[in-house]
């Protein structure tokens, strides 16, 4: 009789045990150094947060190459492997004085030939021209500021790789998995790079806050 009762209890607990096994995952990406910037703080943030937990969310930190096709391929493979609930891409905006939490991605990308600008192309001819982040951008900015870190909402992520990965991930969420939350954060340079720069710890804290505000 005792064995029957124990077996019955185990059967009842199985659904909750399985639910606990499936952890929430956030992919946090940064970029390699580019152009004249030999240090990219977004790379440092992604690597330092890789393998950590933010609340109940496990972070997979990845550094993307400064290449449209390679960056997209890596992101697609990460999605297949981890099935994340949050995708937070980050990058360097050298002229930024604050953490810029991006709200909009546009369907345009700059083309460079031999490191020289050679015009603009549409990213995806069948996609909308503008896509909006489905992260709680306003809440994230307010929480970052409440931690004495300078932050603002931004409505233009540029037309290079930062905007590109932001757009293709939002387009993925729109058409293939609406439950995935996608956002982008631009960092200012480090203090060692510019007098108006920011500490790496503040950047990491901003990402942690963004994930906390966006997790289920």
**Residues with active-site annotation:** 102, 162, 186
Sheet with 99-102, strands from edge to edge, namely: 53-54, 57-64, 24-31, 86-92, 181-187, 99-102, 151-154
CA 82/CA 181 separation, integer angstroms = 14
CA 181/CA 161 separation, integer angstroms = 19
Query: Strand, coil or helix: what is 177?
Result: coil
| Separation in Å, CA 51 to CA 54, 154, 197 | 10, 29, 27
DSSP code, position 65: P
- Residue 44: CB atoms within 10 A of its CB come to 18
Cβ–Cβ under 8 Å, residues 199 and 149: no
Residue whose C-alpha is closest to residue 80's, from 182, 214, 208, 177: 177
């Amino acid at each position: 009789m005792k064995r029957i009762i124990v077996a019955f209890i185990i059967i009842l607990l199985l659904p909750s045990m399985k639910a606990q096994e499936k952890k929430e995952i956030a992919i946090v990406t940064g970029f390699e150094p580019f152009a004249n910037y030999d240090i990219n703080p977004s790379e440092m943030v992604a690597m330092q947060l890789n393998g950590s937990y933010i609340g109940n969310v496990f972070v997979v930190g990845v550094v993307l190459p400064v290449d449209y096709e390679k960056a997209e391929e890596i992101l697609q493979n990460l999605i297949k492997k981890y099935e994340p609930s949050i995708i937070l891409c980050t990058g360097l905006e050298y002229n930024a004085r604050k953490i810029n939490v991006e709200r909009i991605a546009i369907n345009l990308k700059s083309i460079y030939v031999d490191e020289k600008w050679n015009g603009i192309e549409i990213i995806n001819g069948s996609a909308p021209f503008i896509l909006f982040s489905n992260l709680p951008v306003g809440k994230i900015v307010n929480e970052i500021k409440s931690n004495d870190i300078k932050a603002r909402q931004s409505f233009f992520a540029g037309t290079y790789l930062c905007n590109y990965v932001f757009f293709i991930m939002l387009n993925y969420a729109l058409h293939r998995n609406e439950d995935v939350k996608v956002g982008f954060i631009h960092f200012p340079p480090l203090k060692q790079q510019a007098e108006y720069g920011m500490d790496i710890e503040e950047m990491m804290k901003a990402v942690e806050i963004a994930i906390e505000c966006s997790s289920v």
